[in-house]
Amino acid sequence: MEEREIKIKLDHETKRILCRLLDKHIESLRETAEGQKTFTRLLIAHEAERIGDVLGQIHEGWRQALPSLPAPSGELNQ
């Protein structure tokens, strides 16, 4: 699978909103995976992992660009 670096320029509040939405989406995917067949669970887990990677890139870019800001309140749910 190809690896991509995502660069997004957003203000502080927009990043917080985006991170919160991504966290909620990951949690929703995990809830959906419960009770599914093995293959479907694997597909959903893979998608949740990809979204988690995007969220991690946002957190890392945030930390590097603005080290004085506090860590985002919604950490990765892994």
- Judge whether 5 lies within some domain: no
Into how many domains does the chain fold? 1
Q: Is residue 31 part of a domain?
A: no
Contacts of 3 (CB under 8 A, 6+ apart): none
With contact defined as beta carbons under 8 Å apart, do 19 and 59 qualify? yes
Please give the residue range of the domain that contains residue 58: 12-22+37-65
pTM score, whole prediction: 0.63
In a domain, 17, yes or no: yes
Describe the crossing of helices 38-65 and 12-33 by its angle, rounded to 10 degrees. Answer: 160
pLDDT digits (tens, 9 = 90+) for 13-55: 888 888 899 899 999 998 988 888 889 889 999 999 999 998 8
On whether residue 77 sits in a domain, the answer given is no
The verdict on residue 27 lying in a domain is no
- Of 9 and 1, the structure prediction assigns the larger pLDDT to 9
Name, in order, each residue with C-beta under 8 angstroms of 17's C-beta and a sequence gap of 6 or more. Answer: none
